[in-house]
Each structure stands twice: as C-alpha cells, then as structure tokens.
A = this chain, B = another copy of it.
Amino acid sequence: MSDERFSSVVAPRPGAAVALRPVTRGRVRGGFWGARQRVNREVTIPLGGERVRDSGAFGNLRLAARGARREEPGKEHRGKVFADSDVYKWLEAVAWERGRAEDDDLARAYKEAAELVVAAQCADGYLHTHTQLTGRRRYSDLASSHELYCAGHLMQAAVAGRRATGDHTLLEVATRFADHLVKALPPEALDGHPEVEMGLAELHRETGGRPYLDLAARFVAVRGHALIPLKGHHGPGYRQDRVPVREATTVEGHAVRAMYLAAGATDVAVETSDLDLLAALERQWRDMVATKTYLTGGLGSNWYGEAFGGHHELAPDTAYCETCAAIGSVQWSWRMLLATGQAAYADLMERTLYNAVLSGISLGGDRFFYVNALRVRAGADRDDLRAPARGRQDWYGTACCPPNVMRLLSSLDHYLATQDGDGVQLHLYAPGTVRAGSVLLEVETGYPWTGRVEVVVRQAPDRPWTLSARIPAWADPAGVDGRPAEPGAYHRIRRTWRAGDRVVIDLGIRPRLTAAVPRLDVARGQVAVERGPLVYCLEQADHPGVIVDDLCVAGPGLADGTAVAGLPADVVPVIARGRVHVHREYDGGFPYRTAAAPPEPEHAGPAELTFVPYYAWANRGAGPMTVWAPMHPR
C-alpha cells in the first residue's frame, strides 16, 4: 500500500471543534518505539491470536454463526461476557499492523477472524455471542452484559481496517450493527461499561452517518442520572452514573470505564461543537491530573471496583493502575490535545505511554501485567491479594489488557504529530517520518535515552508555516537550534521551509529526583528518580545481598550508569548514592512508638543504588520493587 494513505486512529470531521488535526501519516522507524513495535508484530500479535483462540472467543463466533443455543450440550459460550471484544481489539491491532506493512500471514489471520465476525452477525445486525449463545434477551442486562461495549470495539476495529488497508469487511458489519442500535435501543439504554461512544463517534467520522454520533451524544447525555440498575456491591459512581458528565468535577469509579467515557464524550463534544461539555471534560482532566494520577501516569488506586480512589489516595503499594486504564488515559489525552492544542495533554500522554502502558507488557512481548503497582515489598508474594508480586502472567482470564496494548503499539505512529492551518506540531519524539499534506518531515533521535532530536524537512510548500515542537515540562535545560526553549509548551518556528532544512531540539535529558506535593501523604519524605519521560524504580535484581525495602536515597547526586545485567544494552540506568537501613520487621512489636524517641534503623551503611526504568521491571523474575524511596535525612 501507499505511504500516502491517511491513517489515524482518531479523525475529526471537517467541521469539528478541534485546534489540531491528525497528520496524513506518521511513521515510526526504529528506535525505542520501533523496537517495541517489532516485538508487537513478531511476538505479541501472533501469540495474542493464539490466546484469544484458546480462550474460546473465536469458537463463540463460530457457534453464534451456526445459531447455536446453549441447550445443545458442549455448545456453551466460553469465557467472559465481553469475550468478543478480545477478538475485536486483536483485529484492530492486526489491521493497523497491516497498514504499517502488509504481510500474507497478517492478511490471512485478519481475513479468517473477520469472516467469523461476519458470519456471526444476526440478520438484523445484532452481534454479541454471549447473548446469542445463552439466549438471554438482548439489552436486558446492559448494566453488565457488555453488549454495547463489544459493539464499540467492533466499530473501532472496523474503522481501523478501513483506514489501514481499505478493507471494508468489518465496516459493513459495524455499520449494520450501529444501524440496528440506532433503531432498536430504548431511549434510556446505557451500557454499564462505556466504550461504544468512541466507536460510534469514529464510525460517524468514517462513514458520515450522523445517527451514530447522535446516539453517542445521547449515551453521554443520559449517563449520570442513576438509570443503570445497580449490580454487585457498587454504587452508581462505579459505572459513572452518579453525576452527569457535563456536571462532573472529577473522574470516579472504575477507571477504564471512566477513561473510555471521557474519551468518547470528548469525541462527542468536538463533533457537536459542545464547548460546555468540553469545558467540563477539561475540568475533570485537570482534577484527575492534580489529585488522582500516579507518577507513572497510572490511574486507579482502589482494587475495590478497579477504581479511582478519592483525591490524593495514591498509595504506591496498593496501586491498581490497570494497563487498560492507562491506555484509556492516552486515548482521552490525545482527544483533548486535538481539541485544545495544549501541551499538558501531550505531556501526560507521553508519561503514561512510557510508564503506565509500557509496564503492562514484558520486554519480550509475551508476558503481561494487568495491575501495575508502584511498590512491591519483600514477602508480598505470600499475599493472596498482591498479584504484581507474583510477576507478569502469560495471559489473563479477563484478557482486556494484552490486546489493548497490541492495538495501541500498532497505532502508535498516529500519535507522533498533528497539523493545523498554520503548520505541523510534533508531540512524541521517535525516529521516523511525518507526512502532513505537502509537508514531509524526517525525525532522527535516540530519545528517550538522549534528548537530542533532529528534524529534517524533506518536502515543504513554498510559503511560510510553523513547525512546533513540544518541550516536555521536565526538560531542563531545553533548547532549539541553540536557543532556550520553554518547558511545558510548544516551541514554534515560523518560516518558509526548504527541503533539507534541519532543526535540532535538545530536551536536556538527565536524571532527576522528584518529590510529591505535601498533600500526597503517601510519598511524604520520599523521592523518585526520573530521566526524560521515564520514571525509574529500584528493583531487587540489581541489589543482591540487601532487600529493596531497606534502601534509601542518601543525597541529591545522580548519574547515568552503563548497561544493566539482564536488560537490553540501550537501557540507561541511573546510579544514586544510598544507604541500607535494616529494620527488624517481625519483632512482634506494635509498629508505633513514641515520637520523642523515634525508632532508629538498627544498622545503616552506604550503598550504590541502581535505578532502572519502571517499564522494564519484572523482566528478570518477580521480586521487591519501588518507585518511591525514602530520602535519608541529610
């Protein structure tokens, strides 16, 4: 296929109220993300197809195609009620991957699965294998059936197929289903798990079908009035049904649901030019960032309901930080970035990608984290509830996260840059190319290991336009072509560019110590190490003879290290001066003592601390790990 095909996961319509628009095509070639995309294509997507098949999700489609009913023995629906969505997310990943480079195996795999989907669809357009196979009445349990959730993922996969390869197969299925939904759904119907809003909005964008957008807008408007029947122990906030989106001042409840809803609501807001709704979403996003976001960008501190906790409830050990919630956050921030053009959205998106999303998949691409804790103590593996202590898993019974990572990695190219009437904006830095109309840029960089980014103009119109480069908030010092640049904003250069023009951006990447604001009690007296967009951690593998729980940082000096045993050679560790504080843990005593004579460590000695990127942890076995370490009083 041609490099010129428009390819973007989000594509606002011409009249949409957006500040920025996707470029024609971004393309990562090599470097940090290129290596992850290669693993995604060669390892993760193929094994994902196998695992989805093994889970029974393909079989469900096959049975649905035969009109099977559960009365036939051995013909039961397998897996969760949302099993179909695993297929759709995996298909979306395959589609974007085919768009990156066509390949017989991928095309065959896509065709086989897509045909199963086609065959499983009911004559009237309905499609949800769990409902079809169990004979349950359609839409009779939307609070938990995930019928519309699955529909949304189908729509996103269908749009991906169309945009990446021109393949209409799923788009026809999705359109028929959407047409059915527009007709069949009662006015106050709402899925317990938002997702279909994004799917409908993108289907509208791809097909021009206005009723799809109207339906998405209706879902956003109806939500928040406690119309969804309560199930289980959760209140209406769990399903974002306590406060209308337009009135909410914060995000709450199940974090993935909250992010998917917010992203879909943003689509609705920009397509309907609903600036009040957009303002409400901006307010919620700011509150989330200020009070409910982990240093990694991870979201959700509450295992109860896989949910956001209250504001400033961000204990690192009990962090839930579901990989899918981080992906949903990237999706929302990207849409807010398009809507507003504000650098803060890109900053959070980058932080979340490099840390909270990427920690969800092993370096080898074959093992996964569903929950991404920021601290695992020694001995936590003996605990029933602390899954991260037991390390990455091959797959999950609820397998939402792995194929979500797949589709994000295979569409990562779309998030590099945007365009507006005045030029092109670079948001993420990776070696590759950006095509925006008559502009073609080439980017060379060793980012995030080095902060030097070289942008070469390969094609440009013969008139002035602005090249904007995001300077991340942490960049210190930052410069463009030798002149200082302001962090947390876009550095803009307007001129008539010529092919061969070159801009050098220097983002001042060096290791730094980070502290939390005083309100964040859980990190009081502790520091974290960051370097560029990467959050680091102390991992047991690098500290033989002591346990990570006993380590603290002894001074402000940090230095880049050299290679780390067991991690890829390009990973730059950070070395810090530290101390070992041994505490006798199980002395049978109550852990609270008089503050007049506060408990002292039994022994303190110097130590060299090796911090490694958080995303790379648990690739050398499971074990203690911490993002935050106590700061030894000077």
Q: Is B290 touching A385 in the complex (CB atoms < 8 A)?
A: no
Q: Which residue of chain B has its CB nearest to the CB of A535?
A: B592
Which residues of the other chain, B, contact A317 by a CB distance below 8 angstroms?
309-310, 312-313, 521
Beyond the given A310-B377, A348-B590, could you list 19 further A-B residue pairs with CB under 8 A, ordered by the A residue number? A236-B384, A253-B384, A290-B586, A291-B585, A302-B304, A304-B305, A304-B385, A310-B379, A310-B385, A311-B377, A312-B591, A313-B315, A313-B318, A315-B318, A512-B596, A515-B599, A519-B583, A521-B522, A522-B522
Q: Is B250 touching A382 in the complex (CB atoms < 8 A)?
A: yes
Given contacts A513-B596, A518-B583, whether A318 and B309 have CB atoms under 8 Å apart is yes
Q: Is A384 touching B252 in the complex (CB atoms < 8 A)?
A: yes
The 20 listed contacts between A and B (C-beta, < 8 Å) are A236-B384, A286-B586, A290-B587, A290-B588, A293-B591, A309-B317, A309-B383, A310-B377, A310-B380, A311-B380, A512-B595, A515-B598, A515-B599, A517-B583, A517-B593, A518-B601, A521-B522, A521-B628, A527-B595, A528-B592
The distance in angstroms between the C-alpha atoms of A460 and B263, with both chains bound, is: 78
Q: Is B315 touching A315 in the complex (CB atoms < 8 A)?
A: yes
The distance in angstroms between the C-alpha atoms of A517 and B525, with both chains bound, is: 13
**A429 CB-CB contact with B under 8 Å:** no
A245-274 Cβ-contact flags toward B at 8 Å (1 or 0): 000011011000000000000000000000
**A524 CB-CB contact with B under 8 Å:** yes
A106-142 Cβ-contact flags toward B at 8 Å (1 or 0): 0000000000000000000000000000000000000
- Give min CB distance, A579 to chain B, whole Å: 12
Q: Is B289 touching A589 in the complex (CB atoms < 8 A)?
A: yes
Q: Which residue of chain B has its CB nearest to the CB of A301?
A: B318
The distance in angstroms between the C-alpha atoms of A39 and B623, with both chains bound, is: 51
Query: Which one of B318, B514, B586, B596 lies within 8 Å of A291 (CB-CB)?
Result: B586
Q: Which residue of chain B has its CB nearest to the CB of A628?
A: B521
Most buried by B among A304, A512, A556, A581: A304
**A631 CB-CB contact with B under 8 Å:** yes
Q: Is B595 touching A520 in the complex (CB atoms < 8 A)?
A: no
**A516 CB-CB contact with B under 8 Å:** yes
Q: Which residue of chain B has its CB nearest to the CB of A235?
A: B384
- Give min CB distance, A144 to chain B, whole Å: 13
Q: Is A290 touching B589 in the complex (CB atoms < 8 A)?
A: yes
Q: Which residue of chain B has its CB nearest to the CB of A375?
A: B521
Q: Is A524 touching B525 in the complex (CB atoms < 8 A)?
A: yes
